Amino acid sequence: MKFYDTQSVIEQMTPMDDSFFNILVEDKEVCEELLRIILDKPDLVVIQAVPQRNMRNIFGRSVIVDVLCTDSDGSYYNIEMQKGDNDDHQKRVRYNGSVIDTMISSKGTHFKDLPDVYIIYISGFDIFKKLGQSSGRTVYHIIRVIEETGQQVFNGYHEIYVNTETYDGSCIADLMQLFTSSRVHEDQRFPRFCASVKYFKEGEGQKRMSGVFKSYVDEYAKEYAKEYAKEYAKEYAKEYAEEYTAKQSKEFAIKLFKKKMSYEDIKDVTNLPDEILKELQESIK
> Which pLDDT band, with edges at 50, 70 and 90, does 59 fall under?
very low
Instruction: Flag whether pLDDT at 44 surpasses 50.
Output: yes
Are residue 228 and residue 172 in the same domain, yes or no?
Answer: no
Are residue 181 and residue 260 in the same domain, yes or no?
Answer: no
Q: Are 49 and 69 in contact (CB under 8 A)?
A: yes
Helix (H) or strand (E) holding 140: strand 139-142
For the stretch 13-39, pLDDT in tens is: 899 988 889 899 999 999 999 999 999
Q: Does residue 186 fall inside a structural domain?
A: yes
Q: Are 103 and 117 in contact (CB under 8 A)?
A: no
Are residue 42 and residue 169 in the same domain, yes or no?
Answer: yes
Are residue 113 and residue 15 in the same domain, yes or no?
Answer: yes
Are residue 150 and residue 113 in the same domain, yes or no?
Answer: yes
User: Number of structural domains, the chain?
Assistant: 2
- Highest-confidence segment of 13-22, 59-68, 181-190: 181-190
Q: Which of 203, 237, 268 is the last residue of a domain?
A: 203
Are residue 242 and residue 181 in the same domain, yes or no?
Answer: no
For the stretch 241-280, pLDDT in tens is: 677 677 787 888 888 888 788 888 778 878 888 888 888 8
Q: Does residue 76 fall inside a structural domain?
A: yes
Which pLDDT value is given to residue 123?
Answer: 94
Residue 278 domain boundaries: 224-283
Residues 76-86, mean pLDDT to the nearest whole number: 89
Q: Are 15 and 21 in contact (CB under 8 A)?
A: yes
> Which pLDDT band, with edges at 50, 70 and 90, does 63 fall under?
low
Q: Which of 203, 236, 256 is the last residue of a domain?
A: 203
Select the more confidently predicted residue: 225 or 199.
199
Are residue 39 and residue 151 in the same domain, yes or no?
Answer: yes
Residue 161: strand pairing partners = 121, 140
Q: Which of 150, 172, 203 is the last residue of a domain?
A: 203
Q: Does residue 47 fall inside a structural domain?
A: yes
Are residue 186 and residue 268 in the same domain, yes or no?
Answer: no
